């Protein structure tokens, strides 16, 4: 019986020191001051628009990125890498040091955010399941390969929200996130659902239902690179314009709420408050093993956090006067893009050291997938450089700065969109609740960084 909270994220080792109290307070003060200065003083006419011009990069960049060869090479290379990781997972040492765990929990979950933020929605190109699907489609007769259904658009991104929840459940709430059989089962189910859905609905299944694809797509909306809306050329532009191009489909708020709520729960569940509560309650239930009741408690706790984010955001978006019922119902989706910076800022604050330091560990493990003392490409003699852990003050500054920056970007985006959405006369009052909710997310985030 291994304890999930202890084997944090299935990888063991220590976690970050709490952020000093003063840092959190200063961050919170900045967030609060900026928010109300913005509401009171900023522009009164919407300024951001996805159709705003962006500065095009040289045509060669677009040609390179759109080249079938380059895309094919990227897809096949990722597929080969996936095969390598699965080889480690299946044939390698069945311990916590298996390369599969590091790749799954660090390189995939956190690395995908970093790369999507820098380069755009890359998962669309490199998704191994999509590559497998395209390869299978080539070798099966056309009668079988053709999609037989159109994707039900009313589902929107809901399947992806469920998939993201399944991931965070595995990482943060399952009885043992380090259990390789569980991780392999998770991946098998993921593969079956992706291929089965694509067999039925074609490629639109990947765009709507692949949790990693939707995650990558949402994060990529604050990437400075985008395609010019007219020429399709790759250009560099204002991320505030780019944010507005987030597709509004059912379930988009749920996707973002899963990401933000689960990350907050991860902090909270390592606090002594939660551990005392969960330990006492789990041990008072005698019908099931303690690890099962602890897992159930964490599942409930995580669902509560996600539900609180989704509910507060939706209510705050709707809290305005001067519009009819139909318009009010559409508001949470139309403001959902403004939640992305908060999600990304908080995920960076929470997982940055994890990406930088555990990421190295994962790469080193990949050099010896079978535990036979191999040292492919030679990283074996290197040691993990604990660049962030060794400088906790720097790490704390980075964490608070990324939470506060995410907050500031979010309130600017929400303010600008509110000017476009809300009727005149309600533009100031109509965005107040949203500003208060965002301030409360940021305060909670900073509090959790300092207390856990």
Partner 1 sequence: MRAAAAVSSTRVLLAALVGVIALALAGCGGASKPASGAGLTIDITIAHGQVTPANATLQATVRQPITLHVTSDATDELHVHSVPDHKFEVAATANQTFQFSVDVPGSVDVELHHLDRTVATIHVHP
Q: By CB under 8 A, is residue 233 in contact with partner 1?
A: no
The residue within the footprint of partner 1, chosen from 306, 409, 411, 435 (CB under 8 A), is: 409
The residue within the footprint of partner 1, chosen from 95, 276, 375, 429 (CB under 8 A), is: 276
Q: DSSP of 364-409, one letter per residue?
A: HHHTSTTSSS--TTS-TT-----TTTT-HHHHHHHHHHHHHHHHHH
Q: By CB under 8 A, is residue 390 in contact with partner 1?
A: yes
Q: Which runs of E-coded beta strand occur in 228-304?
A: 234-236
**How far does CA 148 lie from the centroid of its chain?**
31
CB 105 within 8 A of CB 11: yes
Q: By CB under 8 A, is residue 140 in contact with partner 1?
A: no
4 is written with which tokens? 């999930």
The residue within the footprint of partner 1, chosen from 168, 408, 435, 448 (CB under 8 A), is: 408
**What is the β-pairing status of strands 234-236 and 55-56?**
antiparallel
Q: Which one of 145-153, 202-210, 391-399, 441-449 is the stretch in contact with partner 1 (CB under 8 A)?
A: 391-399
Q: By CB under 8 A, is residue 13 in contact with partner 1?
A: yes
The residue within the footprint of partner 1, chosen from 16, 171, 266, 368 (CB under 8 A), is: 16
Q: Which one of 22-30, 104-112, 309-317, 435-443 is the stretch in contact with partner 1 (CB under 8 A)?
A: 22-30
The residue within the footprint of partner 1, chosen from 15, 137, 204, 327 (CB under 8 A), is: 15
Q: By CB under 8 A, is residue 389 in contact with partner 1?
A: yes
Q: By CB under 8 A, is residue 290 in contact with partner 1?
A: yes
- If the CB atoms of residues 342 and 409 are measured against partner 1, the closer one turns out to be 409
**Cβ within 8 Å of residue 109, ≥6 positions away:** 167, 171, 351
Q: What's the closest the beta carbon of residue 265 comes to partner 1, in angstroms?
A: 17
| Phi, psi (rounded to 5 degrees) for 175 | -55, -35
The residue within the footprint of partner 1, chosen from 32, 303, 397, 436 (CB under 8 A), is: 397
Q: Is the dihedral of CA 335, 337, 341, 347 positive or negative?
A: positive
The conformation of residue 426, written as its DSSP 8-state character, comes to S
CB 256 within 8 A of CB 339: yes
- If the CB atoms of residues 223 and 255 are measured against partner 1, the closer one turns out to be 223
Q: By CB under 8 A, is residue 296 in contact with partner 1?
A: no
- Bridge partners of residue 56, in order along the sequence: 235
What CA–CA distance (Å, rounded) separates 169 from 403? 24
Q: By CB under 8 A, is residue 52 in contact with partner 1?
A: yes
Helix 68-91 to helix 180-201 angle (10° resolution) is 140
- C-alpha neighbours within 13 Å on the C-beta side of residue 77: 8
The residue within the footprint of partner 1, chosen from 153, 321, 386, 423 (CB under 8 A), is: 386
What CA–CA distance (Å, rounded) separates 58 from 428? 42
What CA–CA distance (Å, rounded) separates 24 from 430? 29
Q: By CB under 8 A, is residue 64 in contact with partner 1?
A: no
Q: What's the closest the beta carbon of residue 408 comes to partner 1, in angstroms?
A: 7
Q: By CB under 8 A, is residue 46 in contact with partner 1?
A: no
**Cβ within 8 Å of residue 82, ≥6 positions away:** 128
What H or E segment, with its residue span, contains residue 156? none
Q: What's the closest the beta carbon of residue 237 comes to partner 1, in angstroms?
A: 9
Q: Which one of 20-28, 99-107, 157-165, 195-203 is the stretch in contact with partner 1 (CB under 8 A)?
A: 20-28
Place of tokens 């390369």: 99
Using CB under 8 A as the binding criterion, the count of chain residues that bind partner 1 stands at 50
Q: By CB under 8 A, is residue 95 in contact with partner 1?
A: no
- If the CB atoms of residues 235 and 252 are measured against partner 1, the closer one turns out to be 235
What CA–CA distance (Å, rounded) separates 24 from 17? 13
Q: Which one of 133-141, 362-370, 402-410, 437-445 is the stretch in contact with partner 1 (CB under 8 A)?
A: 402-410
Residues that bind partner 1 (CB under 8 A): 1-3, 5-8, 12-18, 20, 22-23, 26-27, 30, 34, 43, 47, 52-53, 238, 240, 270, 272, 275-276, 279, 290-291, 384, 386, 389-393, 396-397, 400-401, 404-405, 408-409, 412
């Amino acid at each position: 019986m291994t304890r999930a909270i202890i084997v944090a994220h299935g990888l063991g080792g220590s976690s970050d020191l709490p952020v000093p109290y003063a840092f959190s307070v200063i961050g919170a003060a900045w967030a609060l001051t900026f928010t109300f200065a913005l509401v009171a003083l900023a522009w009164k006419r919407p300024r951001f628009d996805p159709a705003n011009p962006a500065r095009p990069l040289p045509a060669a960049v677009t040609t390179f990125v759109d080249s079938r060869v380059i895309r094919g090479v990227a897809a096949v290379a990722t597929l080969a890498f996936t095969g390598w990781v699965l080889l480690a997972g299946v044939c390698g040492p069945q311990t916590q040091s298996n390369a599969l765990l590091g790749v799954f929990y660090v390189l995939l979950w956190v690395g995908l955010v970093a790369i999507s933020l820098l380069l755009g929605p890359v998962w669309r190109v490199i998704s191994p399941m999509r590559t497998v699907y395209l390869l299978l489609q080539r070798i099966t007769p056309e009668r079988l390969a053709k999609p037989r259904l159109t994707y039900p658009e009313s589902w929107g991104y809901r399947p992806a929200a469920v998939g993201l929840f399944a991931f965070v459940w595995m990482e943060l709430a399952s009885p043992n996130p380090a259990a390789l059989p569980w991780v392999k089962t998770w991946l098998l189910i993921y593969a079956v659902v992706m291929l089965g859905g694509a067999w039925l609905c074609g490629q639109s299944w990947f765009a709507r239902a692949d949790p990693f694809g939707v995650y990558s797509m949402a994060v990529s909306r604050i990437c400075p690179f985008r395609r010019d809306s007219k020429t399709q050329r790759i250009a560099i532009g204002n991320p505030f314009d780019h944010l507005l191009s987030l597709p509004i489909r059912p379930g988009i708020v749920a996707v973002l709420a899963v990401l933000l709520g689960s990350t907050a729960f991860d902090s909270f569940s390592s606090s002594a408050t939660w551990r005392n509560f969960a330990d006492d309650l789990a041990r008072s239930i005698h019908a099931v093993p303690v690890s099962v009741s602890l897992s159930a408690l964490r599942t409930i706790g995580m669902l509560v956090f996600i539900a609180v984010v989704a509910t507060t955001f939706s209510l705050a978006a709707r809290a305005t006067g001067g519009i009819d019922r139909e318009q009010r119902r559409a508001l949470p989706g139309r403001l959902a893009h403004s939640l992305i910076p908060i999600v990304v800022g908080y995920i960076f604050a929470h997982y940055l050291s994890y990406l930088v330091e555990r990421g190295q560990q994962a790469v080193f493990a990949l050099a010896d997938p079978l535990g036979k003392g191999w040292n492919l490409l030679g990283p074996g003699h290197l040691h993990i450089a604990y660049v962030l852990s060794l400088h906790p003050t720097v790490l704390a500054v980075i964490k608070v700065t990324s939470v506060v920056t995410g907050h500031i970007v979010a309130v600017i985006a929400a303010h600008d969109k509110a000017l476009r959405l809300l009727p005149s006369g309600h533009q100031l009052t109509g965005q107040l609740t949203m500003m208060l909710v965002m301030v409360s997310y940021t305060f909670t985030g900073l509090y959790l960084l300092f207390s856990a």
